[in-house]
């Protein structure tokens, strides 16, 4: 196995699909089966969850603390510590607008400075979900009444936790949420590396979920 010398970048590619069957269509997501032609000419079935995409926010305050919440997640039977996040389920909504909405609704906080922290596919072998994680700074509490919550969100807990403590929790295997883990590890790398100013702007292109600026 030789050393790779080309640009280290994921590239768009689409193998031929000879047939598609929708197995399930829910309110937000669905399940699809594609018949995909492999490079050797064989055809295989691939099942995956269709997803509108999502955004998450690592909100960092002036004391180096991150806004987190704890919420019950039934599929994994856990209460997980997470960062504010949500679906791109409003047609035509800018990802930044969605992130700002989630930060307001879940944490009742707004931010004066926004950057793109990371873009990831959450589980590319099983879903087409694309996730954009933002870094939000210059935090301030929002005046007025809290957004009305229901279901699992009605039991949600809010806290501000030092970034270093969250990083330790991820590496110790105590914190498992994808948005939190990718977000805080990426932020730690940024702060120890080129700095926040080197991050992409909040309206940077996102080919996985194109939007109108």
CA 29/CA 160 separation, integer angstroms: 31
Q: What percent of the chain is predicted at pLDDT more than 90?
A: 84
Tallying the residues shown for the chain, one arrives at 213
For this structure, is 164 an active site residue?
no
Contact between 69 and 101 (Cβ < 8 Å): no
List the beta strands (DSSP E) in 26-108. 30-37, 43-50, 54-59, 65-73, 78-82, 85-87
The average confidence (pLDDT) of the chain is 93
| Residue in 153, 157, 164, 197 annotated catalytic | 153
Query: Around 73, how many Cα atoms within 13 Å sit in the side-chain half-sphere?
Result: 12
* Nearest C-alpha neighbor of 190 from the set 199, 181, 200, 182: 199
Determine the pLDDT at residue 153.
61
First to last CA, the chain: 43
Model confidence pLDDT, tens digit, residues 30-49: 999 999 999 999 999 999 99
The DSSP-derived string for 129-152 is: -EEEEEEEEEEEEPPSPPPP--GG
Q: Which residue(s) pair with 68 in the sheet?
A: 159
pLDDT over 70 (residue 150): no
Other beta carbons within 10 angstroms of residue 9's beta carbon come to 5
CA 155/CA 145 separation, integer angstroms: 18
Model confidence pLDDT, tens digit, residues 158-181: 999 999 999 999 999 999 999 999
Residue 104's pLDDT band, with cuts at 50, 70 and 90, is: very high
pLDDT over 90 (residue 185): yes
* Nearest C-alpha neighbor of 39 from the set 19, 13, 21, 20: 13
Model confidence pLDDT, tens digit, residues 52-101: 999 999 999 999 999 999 999 999 999 999 999 999 988 778 999 999 99
pTM exceeds 0.85, yes or no: yes
């Amino acid at each position: 196995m030789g050393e790779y010398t080309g640009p280290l970048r994921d590239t768009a590619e689409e193998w031929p699909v000879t047939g598609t069957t929708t197995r399930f269509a829910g309110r937000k997501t669905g399940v699809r089966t594609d018949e995909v032609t492999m490079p050797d000419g064989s055809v295989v079935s691939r099942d995956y969850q269709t997803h509108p995409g999502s955004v998450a926010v690592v909100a960092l305050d002036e004391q180096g603390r991150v806004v987190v919440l704890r919420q019950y997640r039934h599929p994994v039977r856990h209460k997980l510590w997470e960062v504010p996040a949500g679906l791109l389920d409003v047609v035509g909504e800018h990802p930044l607008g969605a992130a700002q909405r989630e930060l307001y609704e879940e944490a009742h906080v707004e931010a004066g400075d926004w950057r793109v922290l990371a873009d990831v596919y959450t589980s590319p072998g099983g879903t087409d979900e694309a996730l954009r994680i933002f870094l939000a700074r210059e935090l301030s509490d929002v005046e007025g009444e809290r957004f009305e919550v229901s279901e699992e969100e009605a039991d949600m807990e809010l806290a501000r936790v030092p970034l270093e403590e969250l990083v330790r929790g991820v590496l110790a295997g105590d914190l498992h949420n994808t948005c939190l883990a990718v977000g805080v590890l990426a932020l730690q790398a940024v702060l120890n590396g080129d700095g926040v100013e080197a991050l992409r702007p909040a309206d940077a292109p996102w080919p996985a979920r194109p939007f109108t600026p």
